[in-house]
Structure 1
Amino acid sequence: MTAHFARIEPTIEARLLASLGEVAGDAGGSLDRHVQPGLYDRLDWLDPTHRQLWPDAPLAIAAVRRGEDALWLPIRDDGQRHGRALASWYTLAFAPLFTPGTDAATRTLLLDRAARLLRDRFATINLWPLEPTDAAALHRAFAANGWLVRDSFEAAHWVAHTAGLDFDAYWANRSSRLRNTVRRRARKSAVACRVFTAFDAQAWADYEAIYAQSWKPAEGSMAFLHELARAEGAAGTLRLGLATRDGRAVAAQLWTVENGVATIHKLAHLESEREHSPGTRLSEAMFRHVLDDDRPDLISYGNGDEAYKADWMDERRERRRLQLFNLRSLTGLQRAAAKALAKAPLFR
């Protein structure tokens, strides 16, 4: 007689974790740099985000596991049963975090269980900024598990497709208006540019001084950016650009380059130097260095729909925002009704 054994599927385990330390223990290295290709999907991004930007906010991290596959959805608790993504204005893309290799069907199972788990903690949750594919997956999971979902546009996201291109090839694809503008300004202004690929204390001090005197609003946490620059410098992914005129630092840009993607995080110039166009000159130098030396497949100009980005980039993409209302919660129902009546976002 031949014995037939039924396949036993792993059970799904779900719990809320209250700290990133617990996540680290649960993940066992699967959210580290050498495993997760995306900067925003790592513990070494989430930890300073919480510690530097939201130090007083409790965390409620949905941790769901099925065998070797796991999901973590990091939420900060804003009180009054409202949760938000553990993200900030520095986070260009928030997403559910999976162990590498988790297949699509298992991801769906894990997301469904996370949506049910979070009903016990929150009446409303706000998730942003999301890639459209991540927004769609989260939308399906929460809508199927007792949540009303409102999906809205959050921000534009500009990219340039640069696979196989050095700077000259990329530059030939730019508009004649941009190329002529850069050429004219190069003739008129004695601006020198330098790109740092490792953390340099003096260069960073210049970056902070420029930012403090620029047209930009007060930075949310220069300490966060300092920590980021040090970490990425140590990893070899930092590209910090400085433009000087007459020996004075007048423009700065913070980029990272990793896994075929160059990301422009922050840039600033002194408003008093506008006539010399140091920001434009530095942009040309940064693009030249990154394209000739790093050869990325994609350049991301961060989130925002500033007109100048269209000159340097090829494609306008979107980031999405999900507002989630727990329909099994009286508070969630009330907030959903108030939003529908007001026809405007109830919370940001």
Structure 2
Amino acid sequence: MTVYHADINEAQADLALLAPGPGITPFDRIAWLRLMAQECLAPARAVIAVAQDGDAIAALPLVLHRGGYAALANWYSFIARPLGTDPTLLTAIMRSLNPVGALSFAPLPEREAVLLRDAARRAGWVAQLRHADHNHVLRTAGADFATWWAKRPGLLRETVRRKSRKGAVTIRIATTFDDADWDAYEAIYASSWKPAESSPQFLRRFARDEGAAGRLRLGLAHVDGTPVAAQFWTVEDGTAFIHKLAHDPAATAHSPGTLLSHALFAMAFDQDRVALIDFGTGDDGYKRDWMDEVRPRYRLDAVWLGNPRRWPALAKLLARAIVRPGALARPETCT
């Protein structure tokens, strides 16, 4: 077995686990990870821990902070997870982290959360999972948009009917990247209720790359020729990912965000024919009008027993386990 840590900028670009393909999300790809390291996490050291035994391989993207290792991810990431499910390889990766001796990893889907927690325990770490966030999704089940739309809440459907009839809002969905379109998105976002974007260059570069790959869906709504709402989606491997949305509060009376969502959902159903629409993390109330399922996201906190420098962190972990009995004990669930 070979175990190594590769700098994110030197990792093999053709590493199969980190290349676009079935089962790979945007947040797993080497291009996303490198871009995040450069634009969002620098100067922290970003690495990929890899374990390989013959054809079997597993990888764990990480960033090193003063407090230990963390997922190579932030609020733009819908998920962070190990790639590869071999328990022996994941355990070897966790052992390779012993010199640092601390790990906080999120947002993990449930399956990968259990795999990584169990690998940490086999490697001699104390590990605890706790709920970190919500992920709203919609499974299209092969339905067409009209059939699905007929089952949406009546108030939502009535809003779309009335505002569409007035004709004040025009909508365009771009599938190729254009700087002028992205400038419009940034202007709308800046005028919205949302906090200032922390890494605008990261999003612009990601959108440009997605446009070049044919995965971009950038929706813009206009009133009297002025852009007033924008949504940034991508489509990949049968899933539509809703990354960002915003509207100008001055145009709220026209419901441009709702009309834009209506158009983008229709495109996802009837043109892209996706199997899943993923609204990312967060439990915002408006998502419930559009989504039918909520999935948990977890945080893994782990400390290696053999590193005295991490014993204060270990004490905190154990104290939390006392408050939540069973959090350290049951390997079969996330609770």
Question: What's the TM-score, normalizing by structure 1?
Answer: 0.88
Q: 2:5 — aligned with what?
A: 16
Do residues 71 (structure 1) and 58 (structure 2) align? yes
| 1:172 aligned partner | 150
**Within 5 A, what are the aligned runs for 1:152-171?**
152-171=130-149
**Contact conserved, 1:156 with 1:319, CA < 8 A, in 2?**
yes
CA deviations on 1:82-108 (whole Å, 9 max, x unpaired) are 11111111110111123xxxxx5xx11
Query: Contact between 2:23 and 2:237, CA under 8 Å: does it hold in 1?
Result: no
Q: Secondary structure at the match of 2:11?
A: helix
Instruction: Give the secondary structure class of the aligned counterpart of 2:284.
Output: coil
SS in 2 for 1:165: coil
Contact 1:210 1:250 in 2 (8 A): yes
* Preserved CA contact (<8 Å) 2:76 2:243: yes
Residue 110 of structure 1 corresponds to 89
| CA deviation string 1:19-75 (max 9, x = no partner) | 1233216x5455222576321111111010001111201134321110122222121
Q: 1:189 to 1:273 in 2, by over 3 A?
A: farther
The one-letter code of the counterpart of 2:98 is R
**Does the CA-based 8 Å contact 2:59-2:82 persist in structure 1?**
yes
Amino acid at match of 1:20: I
Determine the C-alpha separation between the residues in 1 that align with 2:2 and 2:22: 23
Question: What is the rounded CA distance, in whole Å, between the counterparts of 1:29 and 1:249 in structure 2?
Answer: 40
Instruction: Determine if contact 1:60/1:75 at 8 Å carries over to the other structure.
Output: yes
Once the two structures are overlaid, the 10-residue window that deviates more, 218-227 or 183-192, is 183-192
Residues 249-297 of structure 1, C-alpha deviation per residue, up to 9 Å, x if partnerless? 0000000111110110100001222222111111111111221211101
CA distance in 1, matches of 2:295, 2:21: 27
SS of 1:89's equivalent in the other structure is coil
Which of the two has higher C-alpha Rg? 1
Of all paired residues, the percent bearing the same amino acid is 40
2:29 maps to which of 38, 42, 57: 42
User: How many matched pairs?
Assistant: 322
Structure 1 CA distance for aligned equivalents of residues 118 and 270 of structure 2: 42
Tell me the secondary structure at the aligned position of residue 333 of structure 1.
Answer: helix
Q: Following superposition of structure 1 onto structure 2, how do residues 66-145 of structure 1 map, counting pairs within 5 Å?
A: 66-80=53-67, 82-98=68-84, 107-120=86-99, 122-145=100-123
Q: How does 1:197-236 map to 2 (within 5 A)?
A: 197-236=175-214
8 Å Cα contact 1:128/1:320 also seen in 2:
yes
Unmatched 5+ stretches in structure 1: 1-11, 99-103
Give unpaired runs (5+ residues) of structure 2. 324-335
Structure 1 residues 238 and 90, CA gap change in structure 2 (3 angstroms): same
SS in 1 for 2:106: strand
- Partner of 1:241, secondary structure, is strand
Paired residues of 2:18 and 2:24 also in contact (CA < 8 A) = no
Tell whether the 8 Å contact from 1:253 to 1:264 is kept in structure 2 after alignment: yes
Match of 1:313 in 2: 291
Q: Which residue of 2 aligns with 1:282?
A: 260
Query: 1:239 pairs with 196, 217, 226, which one?
Result: 217
Kindly indicate whether the alpha-carbon contact (under 8 Å) linking 2:5 and 2:49 is maintained by their aligned counterparts in 1.
yes
The alignment's C-alpha RMSD in Å is 1.8
Paired residues of 2:17 and 2:83 also in contact (CA < 8 A): no
Q: Say if 1:30 and 1:36, in contact at 8 Å, map to a contact too.
A: no
- Structure 2 equivalent of residue 293 of structure 1: 271
CA distance in 1, matches of 2:66, 2:88: 28
C-alpha contact (below 8 Å) 2:40/2:199 kept by paired residues:
yes
